[in-house]
Structure formats: structure tokens, C-alpha cells
A and B are shown apart, each in its own frame.
Chain A
Amino acid sequence: MPTVSMTVNGKSVSADVEPRTLLVQFLRENLGLTGTHVGCDTSQCGACVVHVDGRSTKACTMLAVQAEGKNVTTIEGLAKGDELHPMQEAFREHHGLQCGFCTPGMIMSAVELGMRNKEPTEEEVRHWLEGNICRCTGYHNIVKAIMAGARAMSA
């Protein structure tokens, strides 16, 4: 089995994995980071979005070995201790979740948008979320939360 090494939420990790192991399996099963969810397994729903070298990426459609040497951030890596990331805070404030299943992926996508665009319009947010599906259809508050969260990130 090949050995894979990467940085996850600021910590260096290394493990022997079967080549077919998906990044999301590696995060959830090897590292116990179960905040990253698996929804559709076919790269459509976006519940598994994490950041790989700063880009939001569907962790169900990437092998763990493809992340060799890369910097991975999951939902667990956003808060600083007890202090939520501004995007997480905005989701709480604006009720940007119902059942919460899509939330980790939504927030990881939203954080990348906030890094690239300090003041996204509603249209820009809705376009950016093309790869994130909310099974509760709670998009209205998710969009509000992301617009506020992006502003808070640059404040």
C-alpha cells in the first residue's frame, strides 16, 4: 500500500492507504474527521466539499493519494478553539441550516467564495453554490448567511 502524506487542518498526517481510498474516506475513517459528509458519492451534492490548496473540492471525487503533499482544510479546521469562523457564525445567525447535512460542504464552498469575493451579490452566491445541494431546500437563508459571512470575513 502506498504511503500518503498531507497537511490536514494545519497538522501533518501520514498513512498507508489502498490507492482506491477516496479522500473523504481517508478524512472520515483514518483521521476520524466526520464533519465532512458523504451525500451522493457521485460528485453532485457537495456535502463532502473540503479545501485542497485553497480550492473547494469534492472529497468524494478525489483519491487520498492525489492529495499527496497538499494542504487540506475541513470544516473542523475553521473555528479557532471556541470561536467560530465568521462564515459559521453567519450560518448560525441567519439560520442557514435546517437538518444540517449539507452545512459542512456549504460552509466550505462559502468560505472559498468569501476569500475570493468580499461582497458577493445574491446572484454570485447562487451561482457559486451550483455544486452544493440542500435537501431541505433551505437556500434562501443559506444565501443570506453567505452574503453576511463574506462581509464578516473581510471585516
Chain B
Amino acid sequence: MTETQYLAPHSLDEAVSALLAANGTGRILAGGTDLLVQMQAGIVKPGLIVNIKKIPEMTSIEETPDGGFRIGAAVAGAVVGEHERLGKAWPGVVEAINLIGSTQVQGRASAGGNLCNASPAADSVPALVAAGAVATIHGPNGRRTVPVEEVPAGPGRTNLAPGEILVSFTLPPRPPHSSDAYLRMIPRTEMDIAVVGCGVSLTLENGKCTAARVGLGAVAPTVLLVKDAADALIGSKLEDDALEAAAEACRAACRPIDDKRGTIAYRTKVAGVLLKRAAAIAADRAGRA
């Protein structure tokens, strides 16, 4: 059998060239918490592994000049969780990233890996979608940016072209009284795959919701941006009627599967419940922000 080659380049261009030269047999290694398990199980047999954790741009968190944040795609979850100002501005994004695996996985696992693994139930993705995060992608033809929700193509598949690497996430600046929250439903208390995940980001002005975004996970082949749910919240004071309308929009957006974790009916119902709860937490945080 052919031996797997390993490369740990210090630049993105080097990583891109190596991936292209590997002709489709290359795999990107961030924390390795998905890839190595897949290799152990014999699901994938890469000809080349490209470790991207030596590329400084991919392993750093920066505040952007306009007051937003740029999070390197390979930054470990534990490092995200220890960034105080990021946690203040985007508590929902941070709590979602910190739900990837266990504490003992958080030292390696990254949001970039979580997105590119392309599980419909990835915990960090609904929160990043709700946050309006933009993904920066570096490839053979230079750089491009796309909204996070456009990166996954389906279970286990992304819209990245051959040789392209997800470099970082950019979170926009936060107006006053803005916050976010992520909730997931799992049948046990720790370490499980979401039956439904819901991220809500919103801005309040005198108690009135002036901006909102809603991301829903594990209810469709890819994480959904639910614009109708956000529209039901915007302009309201998050009264029961508005929350019920937003929950109904979430239920209407669901296209889930029946599996051992949950039935279609259960997932659809829980999507509405989580929307209401996550919106309440985000609003409470925004009121204090």
C-alpha cells in the first residue's frame, strides 16, 4: 500500500500547491478530530495530509479595524473560549464552538474543521450563520469570500474547489445592545450530536428588535439561514406572537430526516422550541450588552 505523505507548510500558497499536486488524494488536517477518526475507521485513506496549524493566519484571532473579529479557521476551540472580548461580543458563537467534542477535544478541534467536515449537525455552524460570519477562502486563483451558509454543499461535502482552503471567519462589528445565543437539543447532557441546533443573533433598540438572523442545524442537508424567522422577530418586542411566528417559520423551513436521534416530527417541533429559547437568551444578553 502507498504510504500517506505528511506536510506542515508555513504558508497558504505552499499548502494550496501541495493539495493541487496531490490530485484529489490530499486532505487538510486542522485539529484532526474528524479526519483521524475517519482514517482509523478506514473511511478515508489520504495520499497526502496537509497540516495547516503552522500557518499563522489560520491560528490567530484578531480584532478588525471596524470593530469586528477575524477568527482563524484552525484556531482551537479552547483558545476561542479563552478570548475575553470575543466572548463578550459573540457569546453565542463561542458557546457553539465550545460544544464541538469534549473538553479533551477542544484543545485541537476548530470551527473551520467543523464547517468543512460538513455535518448537517455541526454545532458551531448555526451560530456562525446567525452571526453573519463570512468565510475567507484561499485557493489557486487567489482569495474569495462567501457567507458561511454557502460553504457546505450537503452531508460531508463542501463548495470548496480543488486546492481551496478555508482560511478564516470574519464576524461583523456589533451595534450596541446586540447579542447572540446557541442552543442544541441532545438526549443526554454532554458529548452528543445535535438533534436540532439553533443560533439566534439580534439587536435591540429600546426593547424593539431591529436586526436578527437565525441559523438552524440538523434539520436539513445543510445548516439553514431562516430569513422568515428573522423577519418575524424584526420590528417586534419579542412578544409571544412574534416568537410564535418565528418558531412557525423555523418549523416550516425544516426538511429533516428520520433517524435514531430523532423523527421528522420531533425535530420539526424542537426547532420551534429552540428558536424561542435561544431568542430569549440572546435578548437577555443584548439587554445587558
Quick check: B108 and A61 within 8 Å, CB to CB? yes
Quick check: B8 and A68 within 8 Å, CB to CB? yes
The A/B interface has a contact count, at CB < 8 Å, of: 82
Q: Distance in Å from the Cβ of A79 to the closest Cβ of chain B?
A: 21
With a cutoff of 8 Å between Cβ atoms, the chain A residues found around residue B117 in the complex are: none
Stretch from B83-91, B98-106, B157-165, B223-231 that touches the partner: B98-106
CB-nearest residue of chain A to B3: A18
With a cutoff of 8 Å between Cβ atoms, the chain B residues found around residue A49 in the complex are: 104
Quick check: A61 and B105 within 8 Å, CB to CB? yes
CB-nearest residue of chain A to B102: A131
Cβ-defined partner of B6 (8 Å) among A41, A60, A65, A128: A65
With a cutoff of 8 Å between Cβ atoms, the chain A residues found around residue B204 in the complex are: none
CB-nearest residue of chain A to B79: A55
Indicate whether A66 sits within 8 Å of B32 (C-beta atoms), given known contacts A41-B40, A42-B40, A131-B191.
yes
With a cutoff of 8 Å between Cβ atoms, the chain B residues found around residue A55 in the complex are: 76, 78, 107
Quick check: A42 and B103 within 8 Å, CB to CB? no
Q: Mark A1-43, 1 if CB is under 8 A from B, else 0.
A: 0100000000000000011101000000000000000000111
Quick check: A19 and B107 within 8 Å, CB to CB? no
Q: Distance in Å from the Cβ of A63 to the closest Cβ of chain B?
A: 7
Quick check: B190 and A46 within 8 Å, CB to CB? no
Q: Mark B1-15, 1 if CB is under 8 A from A, else 0.
A: 001111010000000
**Residue of A18, A55, A128 with highest tally of chain B CB at under 10 A:** A55
Indicate whether A66 sits within 8 Å of B190 (C-beta atoms), given known contacts A19-B5, A131-B103.
no
Residue A73 is within 8 A (CB to CB) of chain B in the complex: no
Q: How far is B33's CA from A55's CA once the two chains are assembled, in angstroms?
A: 15
Cβ-defined partner of B37 (8 Å) among A19, A42, A52, A68: A42
Q: Distance in Å from the Cβ of A28 to the closest Cβ of chain B?
A: 15
Quick check: B4 and A19 within 8 Å, CB to CB? yes
On A, residues with C-beta under 8 Å from B are 2, 18-20, 22, 41-44, 46, 49, 52, 55-58, 60-63, 65-66, 68, 105, 109, 127-128, 130-132
- Identify 5 residue pairs between A and B in the complex whose beta-carbon atoms are under 8 Å apart, listed by A's number: A18-B4, A20-B39, A22-B40, A42-B40, A61-B37
On B, residues with C-beta under 8 Å from A are 3-6, 8, 29, 32-33, 36-37, 39-41, 49, 51, 53, 76, 78, 101-105, 107-108, 190-191
